[in-house]
Amino acid sequence: MGIKKWSVRLAAMVLLALLCVPGAWAQSGEWALNYKVGGRSMTATLTLEEKDGAWTGVWKSSRGERAVEDVMVDGEDLRFVRVFNLQGRERKFAFSGTMKAGVLTGRMGEGERAVTVSGALSGYTPAAETRERRKRGSKRPPTIADMPYGEHPKQVIDFWQAASDAPTPLVLYIHGGGFRGGSKSGINQGTLGELLDAGISVASVEYRVISDKPLPAAHMDARRALQFLRNKAAELNLDKTRVGAFGGSAGAQLCMWLAYHDEMAAADSADPIARESTRLMCVAQNGGQITMDLGWWIEHIPGYDEPHRDQLASFGVKTKEELAPIIEEYSVITHVTADDVPTFMSYGQNPEDPVPEDPSKASGWKVHHVMFGIKLKERMDALGIEADLKYPRGESKYASNAEFFKAKLLKP
């Protein structure tokens, strides 16, 4: 029976208590599915598990058990590929859905063969990994919370000290949010735990957003936070020569700006913090934009045909003539040179994927498009810099941010 004849209604089981930030998917779980195929009621179980940002899934039914492919979970969005055996032939159909207010909706298949999938949440059976995380606590409290690195209320850091007699490496997390929102509390707990367990200390940085002060205030805060932590290295038991950073979207931009920019330490400053280095040893980013030139976006990003925001207002300037040199300075691709650091990049779609039909999904899809990573990797490959790019159907050396940082920051 072909997929085009399917009539599907889906009832899903989901977590009663999320392990991540509100509104996000949990780290692991089991969904009990009920649906109809050609008028026949059928059941299946979908199990999803996440380890440090990498998701796997298994679909189990009366016909057997099989892994689903290319699982991507991004906030409330879920995508995966299910392999069906139809009349002796294997065929792949993509599922794309959204979980909002207790309702799962999505589409399975493509074109005329696509069917609508919908269902209501009804409960949850914890997976072994989830039970273990609940047993030891879903979040690790920081060693020092809201440590100020400036005078503004947003200029604070949460710091987790890895257990070690010797000075430890340090990884900064800088949150995303379009320079308009987000929070340092959004750090992935799986990544945090894996880094701490490996002996790498972690700092999550809050910074001023545009409503507090126009750009580049966020960039100045990221720089100051890094220098502040280096200045506190002896007190915090840190090896300030082994420092990396990671973040998503706007946070990715801030991390890459630090990573690729020439040294910004002010050697002659009377301020000891300003004399500290701004260079990193490595950087990881998720869904990051490599340029603030929206004309470049229009030329290279599928479906992006007009600016999505007022850059004059974002930077607090009045003319395009004022804006041009600022865009140049704060576009990370501007600063990539042969002496730059190893980079790990991850994006949520394949280069050939079509623009989502749903406008609410298409906006974020464009803004975090893999083409940013492809173009950055092309530049870095030409310069002989290590650049690892991960996307659903791509090949990557590293499975996760934590794996990348352990490879780069831990001494042999």
pLDDT tens digits, residue range 213-246? 999 999 999 999 999 999 999 999 999 999 999 9
Residues 365-393: tens digit of each pLDDT: 999 999 999 999 999 999 999 999 999 99
Write phi, then psi, for 182 (nearest 5 degrees): 90, 170
- Of the pLDDT bands very low, low, confident and very high (cuts 50, 70, 90), residue 162 is very high
Confidence of residue 26 (pLDDT cuts 50, 70, 90): very low
pTM of this prediction? Answer: 0.71
Report the pLDDT value the prediction gives residue 59, as an integer from 0 to 100: 73
335 or 189: which carries more pLDDT confidence? 335
Mean pLDDT along residues 174-186: 93
pLDDT at 34 over 80: no
pLDDT at 80: 73
Most confident option among 1-5, 215-219, 392-396 = 215-219
- What's the pLDDT at 361? 83
pLDDT at 113: 57
Instruction: Quote the mean pLDDT of the chain.
Output: 83
**pLDDT tens for each residue of 85-127:** 666 666 677 777 766 544 556 776 665 556 666 655 444 434 4
43 pLDDT band, cuts 50/70/90, is low
pLDDT at 262: 98
Tell me the one-letter amino acid at 47. Answer: T
Mean pLDDT over 154-165 rounds to 97
Query: Does 186 or 24 have the greater pLDDT score?
Result: 186
Cα Rg of the chain (Å, integer): 23
**How many percent of the chain have pLDDT more than 70?**
73
Per the model's pLDDT, the better-predicted residue between 187 and 52 turns out to be 187
| Stretch among 73-87, 193-207, 307-321, 346-360 having the lowest mean pLDDT | 73-87
Q: Give the pLDDT confidence score for residue 94 in this predicted structure.
A: 74
CATH classification code of 139-409: 3.40.50.1820
